[in-house]
Amino acid sequence: RPPDLLAAFNAFVYRQAGQADVVVGSPAAGRVDPRYLDVVGLFVSTIVIRTDASGEPTFADLITRTRKSVLSALEYMDMPFDELVNRLEPRRRLSHAPVVQVMFALHEDGPGASALLVKEPVPRDTAKLDLTFTVEDNGDRYDVEIEYCTDLFLRDSVEYFFRHWSELLEKALDDPGLPIGQLGFADDRERSLVGSWSAGAAAGGGLDAGGRAGIHELVERWIAESPGAVAVVRSEEHTSELQSHH
C-alpha cells in the first residue's frame, strides 16, 4: 500500500540522516480546480510531507503518522511549491534545494491503465534534488527508479540505499510492531562483510570475552597497523589515518 511504502522511506531517511524531523517532497496532480480537468498540460506540483519520527515509534505507528502527514499536506495541494518557498523564506544555499532535498514519488498504473498511453523515458543530465525515489506500481510488481546528485553520492552508495530501503520495508512488513530504530536493513552481502571484520578482530585479539569490540577499538587497531593509509581526501590534500586521529 502507498502509506507503507512512504512510511518505509521515512524510516529509511530517519535511519540514514539520524534526524527525527523527516521532510520529504512528493509530486501531486495539481488539478484541484475542476475547470482544469480537461485542460491539456502539466499541472504537477510538489507537496511537502513532514513526519515526526521521534520517540522511537513502531513501524505501525509510523504508518499512522505518515498517513496524517500526507492528509495534512494535501490540504495545501493548491498552493504552488514556488509560492510556498517564497512564503517560508528559507535560507537559500547553492548546495541544495530549499525546503526539501529528498523526494518520494509513487505512480500507480495498475491493470486499468490506458493502453493508448505509452511511457517514454526522458534522459536527464542533472538531478533536481539530492535523492529521488520513483516507484512504479505495475499491478504485479513495483519498479523503482532512483535519481541522485552525483556530487554527493556514488553509484555504489545509491545501490546500497535501494537495498537498505528494500530490506527495511521487508522487515517492517514482517513485524510492524517493531520500533523503527530496530529494523534491520543490512542485506546478506553487508552482513557477510561485517562478519569478516569481526573475524579479523577476533584474529587480532581485539574482542572481549563476549566476542565484542568497540568501534573505537577497531579504529585504533587499524591506525596502529596502517598509520600511513589515506583516511581523508580533500581536493589535492591527503590525510593519513594517524594524522586524522590526532
For residue range 5-61, what is the model confidence (pLDDT) as tens digits?
Answer: 999 999 999 999 999 999 999 998 776 777 777 888 777 889 999 999 999 999 999
- The whole-angstrom separation of Cα 142 and Cα 135 is 6
Residues near 227 by beta carbon (within 8 Å), at least 6 away in sequence = 240, 241, 242
> For 168, phi and psi rounded to 5 degrees?
-65, -40
The identity of residue 141, as a single letter, is R
And the C-alpha cell for 158? Answer: 545509491
Residues of the chain above pLDDT 70, percent: 80
Written as nine digits, the cell of 156 is: 555504489
Element (H, E) at 195: helix 188-203
Tell me, what DSSP letter sits at residue 154? -
Amino acid making up residue 95: S
Residue 118 scores a pLDDT above 80: no
> What is the C-alpha separation between 215 and 194, in angstroms, rounded?
12
pTM: 0.74
For position 209, what pLDDT does the model report? 47
